[in-house]
Structure 1
Amino acid sequence: MDWIRLTKSGKDLAGLKGRLVEVTEEELAKHNTKDDCWICIRGLVYNVTPYMEYHPGGEDELMKAAGADGTDLFDQVHRWVNYESMLKECMVGRMALKPLATVLKGVMWITVARLHLSK
């Protein structure tokens, strides 16, 4: 069976019975094996496990981004590919926003580091 036929088969390729979820970095990181592989591209998370055998570059290429944000890797190889259409049946959800306190803590650390380096 080819990939397009599989996506139109009605099978639950995302593995979530049609619901979309907010995915934390910790949750994304848990899905990092060939039997359970989620990848984030531009803030959206996809379960690419069912796509593994269809990927022209092979499983190893997909595994480079397993459980992580694969946007940069994806853009290096095939920015032109319409992944939104190709993987829409595999969509798990979107990345959860980091709490503001975490973001501000990072900004403060960078600011302090810059001040220290400028001395």
Structure 2
Amino acid sequence: MRPDPFNWLWRRYDLEVDGTTYPDGVSVHAPSYVVVDLNRACTSYDAVAGLDDLSADGGAVRFKVYGDDTPLFASGVVTADSGPVPVHADLTGYKTLRLVVQDAGGGPLLNLADWARSRISCR
């Protein structure tokens, strides 16, 4: 895993998005990215993406998933009021997975973004 060198990645347990507790995931501030080298034949990435309940009101982000440099998933604007979004991306044939969070308003102090229940399925 290669996190954005200008941001941090917080591996967490029991993170909360919209009042729901998820057993595991990662939190980042927007804007940021994380690259995962797949190192074997993987078939899919699944997660629940949203603003963490620790975020202050007013945050807004967009979540994107890439296989190598190919866009595989893009959310609309996600806020605390809109709740989390399910993420699914087909990874067949890709060597890297890149998870991107873009600021859509509010700035980094308000945009604590979660990739909750992240799962990469491989053969």
TM-score range, shorter chain: under 0.3
Give the TM-score normalised by structure 2: 0.23
Give the TM-score normalised by structure 1: 0.24
Higher helix fraction: Structure 1 or Structure 2? 1
Higher strand fraction: Structure 1 or Structure 2? 2
Larger radius of gyration: 1
